[in-house]
Structure 1
Amino acid sequence: MDHRVILVAFYFFVIHKGSSQDMKRTEDGKHSYDLVVILPKDNMFEFSLSRILPGINIAAESKRVKDIVPNIVFNVMGADSGCDTKTAPLVAIDTMINKTVDAFLGPVCDYAAAPIARYANHWKKPVITAGGQARAFINKHEYFITRTFLVYSKTGEALADIVADELGFNQHLLIYRYDPNDITQKDCFFITNGFHDAYMKKINNFDIQVEWFREEDHDFKHDILKYMIYDTRGMLSYSVFKISPF
């Protein structure tokens, strides 16, 4: 993702809201705009602070951005989201108390983004993220968030169109990875949920089975033998989806 595009989006947000007069000013009269980047510190995530923050800093100081928004100076600060529901909102609240935030970049993790996107609606602070892909973020009355990347609801709609209209399948089994003790890695669940929701809206009487597994001890051969061979006898069509971003 080109972070310079996000910085330009912030500029137009400020102009659209007519709030630039309220912005802080530097000694040379330019507007000072504080960006808080909330991402996990742990490098097990592809979108960790150490991987993403340098790119945002480079973008903020780039000639291209300075040419487009010459009167704005971006102050970029990184904060650890923990990729969880506790750490991320506390970080956001701390920055609001200290008045060091004009806009949030991130979080990416859905469970970290959700509470911040709710509070941002009250704070009137924009939240722009490449995450927040879960179907629930469609509700703009609850979540004050702009998502710049692929969202699972749209993926589900596209897949539902293919399965129903092009392939004509009438019964499905969705298999996805899910660990109930780990709320940070639920991409498979959110992707499956996006498809399930889209298909249920397309065909009200859709018969669907859902099974979840833990990657380390799962046997897909067992799924094929149990569901596809036995259950498809005499049926017109049947499909098994292993939906996983990994």
Structure 2
Amino acid sequence: MCNSNIHLLVVILSSFIYFIGHVVGIEVNIAAILPEDDRRLFSMKHAAPAIEYAIEHLKNNTDLLNGHTFKVRYGDTNCSPAKGMNEAYEFFIKKQVDVFLGPVCDFVLAPVARQTMFWNIPLLSVGAFAKQFNDDRLDEFRMLSRVGPVNFNSMSNAYLDMVKYFNWNKFKIIFEEAGQAEYMEGMCYLAASALHFESQSSKHNMTQDHFKLEGHFVIEDILRLEVGLNYGGSILPSTRQNLFPIEHAIIAIEYAIEYLQNNTDILYGHTINVRYGDTSCIEAKGMNEAINFYSVHNATVFFGPVCDFVVAVVARQAVYWNTPIVTVGALAQDFAASRMKEYNLLTRVGPVTFDSVARSFLAVSKFYNWVRFKILYEDKGQDEYMESVCFLAAKGLHLESRATMKPDNYKLEENYDIESILRSEIGKSYSGE
């Protein structure tokens, strides 16, 4: 939980003290009903330090308590509506609650938040992602206050802003009804539902459709049948580890060639012959594949590599061969910085680089008037997807931010304890984790 949320919690707890300030020695009962399972969003283990920090801050750094105290009791909802409602009821019937912190899972939060109106007990939550909480906030959820920065409405608005920016006029939502259920029940369904309804009410002229993934689906078949030529498409998670594996690229390449052959006159009798080589995201292997294609097969253009360290060596060599490279990789800041010298035959077709990620973060920083931050990263983090992806992302953010902010960084070593790292490296000095 970032410091801005902790500070908000401090303000909220302070407000309780303000309203009872004329009474001496009141004990404010906080019932924190949260999932104990650490796979869940905002689990008890993650939320408890923030709650305790807020109370400690009030006690040691302010005069607001004035003899008042907080008593925090925890209950495990297990993200189950029945169990969450029972925990809330037990705290209420035993007169052990003046304010609820949580639930955080939407299907648990909804019935508890409705009941708190009859109990006249306020409820604070970083959950309430679903669109319904915003639509019915004055009717069913009057005692509920959200303290989280993002919900599915804001996610939908961000997506629709992007749709408007690129002048897209239709899209299709492909979702698993139980997708990401290990984090929150109905997460993908609620996100898809919010995007569906938000786009319907948008003034931007667009057509949207949706498709629910059933059972053991084959994503390649779904993309051909449900997306095909008719929609802008979507990039979905795969069980394959590397970014942009051959199995995914083949579909796009073959589809593009088929489209040119059947729907245009661009080829004018020319043919396109595609050969594939496996780089395994290894520099030496990728370079060897490129040499073979150039010397044996007289390659006219390279599609890939996509892993940055492999792209770099092949793209430098391609300059001497006068052979263009097209890639969705080249995410690192170095490719943009040296594009006119070392990589002048390289063309990126991907929508995102680490530079653009950094600029997005800096835009958020500017909006919230943040002046410094600290990057915590694993040198080998996410290496199963692309070698040094976390290091390259951290480097891009560091270099992009130096001109306007005061970045610092900390490399996480093996077998680190994240709670200790957050206390020692973040503490009260930075605005986030």
TM-score w.r.t. structure 1 length?
0.80
Ranges in structure 1 where 5+ consecutive residues have no aligned partner:
233-237
| SS of residue matched to 2:96 | coil
1:148 equivalent in alignment to 2:147: yes
CA distance in 2, matches of 1:123, 1:206: 44
Alignment-mate amino acid for residue 148 of structure 1: V
1:170 equivalent in alignment to 2:179: no
Which of 216, 232, 236 is equivalent to 1:239?
232
* Cα contact 1:175–1:242 (8 A) shared by 2: no
Alignment-mate amino acid for residue 210 of structure 2: V
* Number of equivalent positions: 227
Structure 1 pair 56–170 and aligned structure 2 pair: CA distance change class (3 A)? same
| SS of residue matched to 1:35 | strand
Aligned to 1:30: 25
1:201 equivalent in alignment to 2:201: yes
* Cα contact 1:104–1:128 (8 A) shared by 2: yes
1:109 equivalent in alignment to 2:86: no
| SS of residue matched to 1:119 | helix
CA RMSD of aligned residues (A): 2.8
| SS of residue matched to 2:62 | helix
1:1-246 to 2 correspondence within 5 Å?
A: 1=1, 2=3, 3-12=6-15, 15=18, 18=19, 29-62=24-57, 67=62, 69-71=64-66, 72-138=68-134, 139-140=136-137, 141-143=139-141, 144-149=143-148, 150-163=150-163, 165-179=164-178, 184-203=184-203, 206-213=206-213, 217-229=216-228, 231-232=229-230, 238-241=231-234
Alignment-mate amino acid for residue 200 of structure 1: Q
Ranges in structure 2 where 5+ consecutive residues have no aligned partner:
238-433
CA distance in 1, matches of 2:195, 2:226: 19
* Cα contact 1:35–1:102 (8 A) shared by 2: yes
CA distance in 2, matches of 1:175, 1:5: 36
Structure 1 position 147, deviation (Å): 0.9
Segments ≥4 residues shifted beyond 3 Å: 18-21, 62-66, 203-207, 241-244
CA distance in 2, matches of 1:65, 1:37: 22
Alignment-mate amino acid for residue 10 of structure 1: L
Alignment-mate amino acid for residue 91 of structure 2: T
CA distance in 1, matches of 2:204, 2:161: 14
TM-score w.r.t. structure 2 length?
0.48
CA distance in 1, matches of 2:117, 2:21: 19
CA distance in 2, matches of 1:87, 1:226: 41
| SS of residue matched to 2:201 | helix
| SS of residue matched to 1:93 | helix
CA distance in 2, matches of 1:66, 1:125: 28
CA distance in 1, matches of 2:213, 2:227: 17
Structure 1 position 84, deviation (Å): 1.5
Q: Which has the higher strand share?
A: 1
CA distance in 2, matches of 1:76, 1:161: 41
* Cα contact 1:36–1:104 (8 A) shared by 2: yes
CA distance in 2, matches of 1:66, 1:122: 36
* Cα contact 1:39–1:49 (8 A) shared by 2: yes
Larger Rg: 2
CA distance in 2, matches of 1:113, 1:14: 25
Q: Encode CA deviations 1:118-176: one digit per residue, 9 max, x unaligned.
A: 0111222111111111111011110121111111112212211321x212222211012
Aligned to 1:235: none
Which structure has the higher relative contact order (CA within 8 Å, separation 6+)? 1
